[in-house]
Amino acid sequence: MTASPRKILLIDDDQLQCRLTQAHFKKFSQETFALDWAETYEDGLARLLGGDYAACLLDFQLGERNGLQLIGEAMAAGCHTPIVFLTAETAERVDIEAMKAGALDYLVKGEITSRMLERSLRYALNLGETLDALRRLATRDELTGLLNRREFERILAEESDRALRFGRPVALVLVDIDHFKRINDTHGHPVGDEVLRQVAQRLSEQARSVDRVLRYGGEEFALLVMETDQAAALDVAQRICETVKRAPIAAGDGVNLSVTVSAGVAVIPGDATSGTALLASADKALYTAKARGRDCAVAAG
């Protein structure tokens, strides 16, 4: 089955430029792309943020606003689509400003050839993939694929501030694998790694799309549950405990382990008035769960 061509978005208020770009695309030698055209700043930004494009060709002049402003808005919204900047100006300042804003390449309209455009798109796509891989390494735990400790601290601060500012609750569930050191000591670290991966997967299955599941460190995980009070968050934590122990973990070489976890729950507002205090409250509740014999969830307070 032939794969569908990757989609490229052209944001340009000149219809002639769209036709010229389509003509260039037909002459490409290495890959076929599908071109979509957005004629206005607003439509272009909305489509770009939709995340449905492999790359974007972005004009400098877009009515009263320009492509530099659009890149800034897109980046602020978390868009990482590779952008090739197009302009009729040859001034070096535009080149520098475009690259500083986040564009991966720069082309002057009057100088564009089919070969040049294809090369520029291929370069932007390859560099975009490299940058995505680097972002993943910086924000993801390599073993489990979950967001890492650095991202946990950033997201915790952001969501705590948002909860306090708008009066919307956010809950933190800390989860710790019971007797994990015993697993490593008895079966070895490769088995321990597989346990971590499968527990992470079971935790992720209990999270909604708006929630965040992270590896806090070692055998400890964190779940940020958005707009959830303490009772509902405790219910989530109890379901996590039940889900983990429901079925043994197949860790390879015929090793099947019955694994349990303990969980501590805290909420803003109610249990804390800052991200740091929220973490401390959830950690204290987790310690209480461990002291009660493990394989249970405990709420702060």
- Which pLDDT does position 1 carry in this prediction? 53
- Report if residue 143 sits inside a domain: no
* DSSP-derived pairing of the beta strands 55-59 and 6-11: parallel
CATH number at residue 179: 3.30.70.270
If asked whether residues 189 and 127 sit together in one domain, one would say no
By the 8 A CB rule, do 153 and 276 touch?
A: no
Catalytic residue among 97, 159, 219, 220: 219
Strands (E), the chain: 6-11, 33-38, 55-59, 61-62, 65-66, 83-87, 105-108, 170-177, 212-217, 220-226, 249-250, 256-257, 261-268, 297-299
What 3-state class would DSSP assign to 27? Answer: coil
By the 8 A CB rule, do 206 and 239 touch?
A: yes
- Which pLDDT does position 198 carry in this prediction? 95
Domain that residue 72 falls in: 6-138
If asked whether residues 27 and 82 sit together in one domain, one would say yes
Examine the residue annotation and report whether 219 is marked as an active-site residue of this protein: yes
- Which pLDDT does position 183 carry in this prediction? 93
- Report if residue 144 sits inside a domain: no
- Report if residue 1 sits inside a domain: no
If asked whether residues 160 and 129 sit together in one domain, one would say no
pTM: 0.66
Pick the last residue of a domain from 138, 169, 187: 138
If asked whether residues 219 and 276 sit together in one domain, one would say yes
Per-residue pLDDT tens over the stretch 265-289 = 999 998 999 999 999 999 999 999 9
Pick the last residue of a domain from 138, 163, 178: 138
If asked whether residues 163 and 232 sit together in one domain, one would say yes
What 3-state class would DSSP assign to 211? Answer: coil
By the 8 A CB rule, do 177 and 184 touch?
A: no
Pick the last residue of a domain from 118, 138, 158: 138
- Which pLDDT does position 100 carry in this prediction? 84
If asked whether residues 82 and 221 sit together in one domain, one would say no
If asked whether residues 134 and 155 sit together in one domain, one would say no
Residue ranges in the chain modelled with pLDDT below 70: 1-3, 89-92
If asked whether residues 69 and 111 sit together in one domain, one would say yes
CATH number at residue 91: 3.40.50.2300
Query: How many domains would you assign to the chain?
Result: 2
